[in-house]
Structure 1
Amino acid sequence: METSNLLRHQIINSRTAQLNENFAEAAIGLWEPLAAQIVSIVGEGGFNSIYVRSISKSQSTFPWLADGPMSPLNDHRFAALKMSLEGQPPKQASAAIDLLLTTFTDILASLIGEDLTKHLLRSAWGVDATDISWQET
């Protein structure tokens, strides 16, 4: 695995590990700003396609992940995901959201490149560009 992929995966793992109380709500809080950043690059349809593909790939490990249609309303976009997460123990929900974000960003990076994907994550999640975990080795 490339170092740049590993660094992106580490930041995702770090963010999902920080989610405690109200896990489902907090997890959606990671997705919403990310979606806003990505929609500005690939459009609503592009985001939805990558997201649905990510859900589909992640269901082999977590079959309970919702695969319903995306809501056209931004404030309800992740309603099915939130409901799926709420029905699971926190440890399992955390592992699922980690896998889903990793899968999503892997697909995104294959389409738009690793550097732009990391830039979008930094912008969406307010990660300082000088953060050592994001620097190339």
Structure 2
Amino acid sequence: MPPCGTAATTGGSEARDDAVTRTRRDAQSSAGATVGAATRRPATGIGVRTVISHVSGAEIAVAATKTLTLVLGGLITYHSYRAYRRTAARQLGALALGFAIVTAGAVLGGTFHLVVSRYMDVPLTVPILFESALTATGLTVVLYSLYVRR
């Protein structure tokens, strides 16, 4: 009987490794023939191309304009708030709050439309109503800031 680790025991394991390799190769080739491109997907099952292919050009435009609204509204709010902190004028505080509400309404309304209404059974009028209510509230605060006295 040969000692452990000699050619007699190694030869048996090599034959077993060859059989395993052939079985894996056969399984991959048969799966590739029947499934095709599905074997190239990521482990999560959702690829980037799958998600992007469901986004329309109009939704990209909405996301772009809402991003621009967030940047511009954020800048106006920031500078209004800085002016309020410098002067302690209630008018500027109300102006900053009004622009913050308008900006938040536009961004949250767009997000609500693009995300929530897509994956839930919510009609399009709900995000529009939500955005319009916040915009009207914010503009009311801005109008208040124009009429408030020191």
Fold similarity call, TM over 0.5: no
Q: Scaled by the length of structure 1, what TM-score is found?
A: 0.30
Give the TM-score of the pair, scaled to structure 2.
0.28
> Highest CA radius of gyration, 1 or 2?
2
Q: Which structure would you say has the larger RCO, counting Cα contacts within 8 Å and 6 or more residues apart?
A: 1
